[in-house]
Structure 1
């Protein structure tokens, strides 16, 4: 059996956007905004879209060649705890106000990121 992993940053970002927009229930308060459908991955990460709750940006998604970086801007501690608990790589960003970076390195990890988005949506 051949295992295939989705490791293209642009496709991972597209998968996450479809998960956010396609789920109801606890992800209902979230929406994808300011999407750049023609975004090209860069080593530092190119802005792909924002994720908002009730018109307030809670996270931004950046596309790198082999992953995405989700930069949580609100409820950063909640996002960090949930993402870490889901087994994702999490790092604080020392800016003011502080942010939490979560790295999603393959398509299967998108499902794990949803727990952090659920926590942020309900916070």
Structure 2
């Protein structure tokens, strides 16, 4: 059992990146981390850490805050929203151009649930 809960935004972003790149089964087999900023420093508003692409198209962008990450999902918004709700992750839609769903990930353990949200988004994109 892990005694410490990971709540460092930079470390949470690293863990999510590992989850995205560490799977070989669909839909993650064609999903990758792109345009990473390896020396990103967390900010209160969130500094862009990297994008998540599926088949070369950016489907999400990850921002690092001091104690969490914020994932802006651009694809499969309804499916991503349902997956976030099922996973118990706080999410809110943003009516902008492009529309997006912002998902908040506040612990290292929640990265697996955030991966499910990304998986739902890319699976919906393929439909």
Shorter chain as denominator, the TM-score bin is over 0.9
Alignment of 1:38-117 (within 5 A): 38-117=39-118
CA contact (8 A) 1:59 1:72 kept: yes
Secondary structure of residue in 2 paired with 1:28: helix
| 1:45-64 deviation per Cα after TM superposition (whole angstroms, max 9, x unaligned) | 00000000111110000000
2:17 is the alignment partner of 1:17: yes
Tell me the TM-score normalized by structure 1: 0.95
Runs of 4 or more consecutive aligned structure 1 residues displaced over 6 Å after TM superposition: none
Supply the distance in 1 between the matched residues of 2:15 and 2:81 (Cα, whole angstroms): 21
Secondary structure of residue in 1 paired with 2:108: coil
* Structure 2 residue ranges without an equivalent (≥5): none
2:5 is the alignment partner of 1:5: yes
* Structure 1 residue ranges without an equivalent (≥5): none
Q: How much has 1:2 moved relative to structure 2? A: 7.6
Tell me the TM-score normalized by structure 2: 0.92
Aligned residues: 123
| 1:33-76 deviation per Cα after TM superposition (whole angstroms, max 9, x unaligned) | 00000000000000000000111110000000000000001111
**Greater CA deviation, 79-88 or 62-71?**
79-88
Q: How much has 1:122 moved relative to structure 2? A: 1.7
Supply the distance in 2 between the matched residues of 1:97 and 1:32 (Cα, whole angstroms): 20
Supply the distance in 1 between the matched residues of 2:113 and 2:23 (Cα, whole angstroms): 14
Supply the distance in 2 between the matched residues of 1:2 and 1:78 (Cα, whole angstroms): 31
RMSD: 1.3
**Greater CA deviation, 33-42 or 90-99?**
90-99
Secondary structure of residue in 1 paired with 2:49: strand
Alignment of 1:29-40 (within 5 A): 29-40=30-41
